[in-house]
Amino acid sequence: MNKFNSIVAVAFLAVTFTACKKDTDEPIVVVPPSDGSTLTLNGLIGAETGSAAGNSVYVDFSTDKQTSVARSSWDLGFYSGSDFRVILNNTTGAGAKVITTANASLATVSEADTLGLTLAVSQANPANTDFAYFDAINGSLSSTVIPAVSATAADNKIIILNRGTAGGIAARSWIKLKVIRNASGGYTLQYGKIKETTNFTTVDIPKDANFNFKFVSLTNGAIVNAQPEKTNWDLEWTYSVYQTTFSGVLVPYNFSDLVFINSLGGTSAAVVTITDSKTYASFSESNIAGETFLTNRDVIGAGWRSTQPATGVNTKVFYLIKDAAGNVYKLKFISMGAGDAGTRGKPVIEYKLVKKG
| Structural domain includes residue 321 | yes
Exposure string (b/e) for 22-46, b if CB count within 10 Å is 16 or more? eeeeeeeeeeebbeebebebebbee
Instruction: Specify whether 275 is located in the same domain as 334.
Output: yes
pLDDT at 1: 41
Q: Are 99 and 157 in contact (CB under 8 A)?
A: yes
| Structural domain includes residue 11 | no
Residue 16 banded pLDDT, cuts 50, 70, 90: very low
pLDDT at 18: 42
Residue 325 banded pLDDT, cuts 50, 70, 90: very high
| Structural domain includes residue 225 | no
- Domain extent at residue 120: 75-219
Instruction: Specify whether 82 is located in the same domain as 211.
Output: yes
| Structural domain includes residue 189 | yes
Of 158, 189, 219, at which residue does a domain stop? 219
Instruction: Specify whether 99 is located in the same domain as 207.
Output: yes
pLDDT at 29: 73
Instruction: Please give the DSSP secondary-structure letter assigned to residue 227.
Output: S
Instruction: Specify whether 213 is located in the same domain as 303.
Output: no
Instruction: Specify whether 94 is located in the same domain as 191.
Output: yes
Q: Hey, what amino acid is at 15?
A: V
Give the chain's count of helices (H) and strands (E): 1, 20
pLDDT at 25: 60
Of 187, 219, 251, at which residue does a domain stop? 219
> How big is the chain by its Cα radius of gyration, in Å?
25
Higher pLDDT, 18 or 89: 89
Residue 218, SS3 per DSSP: coil
Q: Are 162 and 94 in contact (CB under 8 A)?
A: yes
Instruction: Specify whether 95 is located in the same domain as 202.
Output: yes
pLDDT at 268: 98
pLDDT at 267: 98
- How many structural domains are present in the chain? 2
| Structural domain includes residue 30 | no
Q: If you average pLDDT over every residue of the chain, what do you get? A: 93
Instruction: Specify whether 82 is located in the same domain as 171.
Output: yes
Establish how many alpha carbons lie within 13 A of residue 227's alpha carbon, considering only the half-sphere containing its beta carbon.
31
Q: What is the pLDDT of residues 131-169, one digit of tens each?
A: 999 999 999 999 999 999 999 999 999 999 999 999 999
Instruction: Specify whether 207 is located in the same domain as 102.
Output: yes
Instruction: Specify whether 129 is located in the same domain as 66.
Output: no
Instruction: Specify whether 86 is located in the same domain as 214.
Output: yes
Calculate the dihedral angle through the C-alpha atoms of 145, 148, 153, 155, rounding to the nearest 10 degrees.
-70
CA distance linking residue 288 with residue 295, whole number of Å: 16
Instruction: Specify whether 315 is located in the same domain as 334.
Output: yes
Instruction: Specify whether 244 is located in the same domain as 295.
Output: yes
| Structural domain includes residue 9 | no
21 φ, ψ (degrees, to nearest 5): -65, -40
> Does pLDDT of 10 surpass 50?
no
Q: What is the pLDDT of residues 245-285, one digit of tens each?
A: 999 999 999 999 999 999 999 999 999 999 999 999 999 99
Helix, strand, coil percentages for the chain (3-state, nearest 5): 20, 35, 45
